[in-house]
Amino acid sequence: MTADTRLPMVLQAPEGLSRRARYFVEGHGLRVPCRDLTPFREAWLERGIPAAEIDRAMAFQTRWGGLALPPAPAYEGGPRVLETDVPEGSAADGWRLPAGDCRFSMAHGFMIGPGGEFGIDANHWTPLHASTEGWVEALALADHAGYWARTITKIKGAAVEELDLDGFEPVPEVQGLADTWWRGEDSLIAVYRGTASGFDAPQCLRADIYGGLDAWGLGGN
């Protein structure tokens, strides 16, 4: 594997993240060497992969490649290291990029969608967040809420659909699609629908409720 020497080993969070997420990335993340995709460009073009998709892969590698973050609360922790490889798909079905290897053997992989969505490739493609930034923001919020909450309640299956979210507002920075975060008066709720949607398995719905939060615990920004 050829190390990409353009990536700094002193970790600096990518631009555009909230203060909470920047602190999380810089305080808890690592930047490790990752592969330089430049030598593969011609071979990928010969395989019929559009130049725009190769450019997108290289841009992802420059921004996120080699970033290792603490495990996520769901999806068995998420990618071990954010890193992409050869684009997959077609013009008809859309092109997706690998987002990094799983930490364990899983029935799904992590992918970046045609519009930059971060999601899982299960029985079918399921976007979790509208961007990789959204995924990182969700990791940071889970870490923050888990530290400051007085109580953490985990529910699964049909009970998730019975959650009363009246009075709660969506947390915009996580850019939720299948997975969403909700902020209430003194609590945060994370709803994880990705596995249930990706495998058509409603019993896999889950939610984490972080209670007893003060103003700092609710935001951390």
Report whether pLDDT(5) > 70. no
Q: Would you state the pLDDT for residue 178?
A: 98
Global model pTM greater than 0.85: yes
Report whether pLDDT(86) > 90. yes
Which pairs from 48-51 meet CB under 8 Å and 24+ separation? 49/86, 49/87, 49/95, 50/91, 50/95
| DSSP designation for 91 | T
Report whether pLDDT(15) > 50. yes
- CA 150 to chain CA mean position, Å: 26
| Domain coordinates in residue numbering, the chain | 19-136, 151-219
Q: How many helices (H) and strands (E) does the chain have?
A: 7, 12
Q: Count how many Cα atoms sit within 13 Å of the Cα of residue 53 in the half-sphere of its side chain.
A: 22
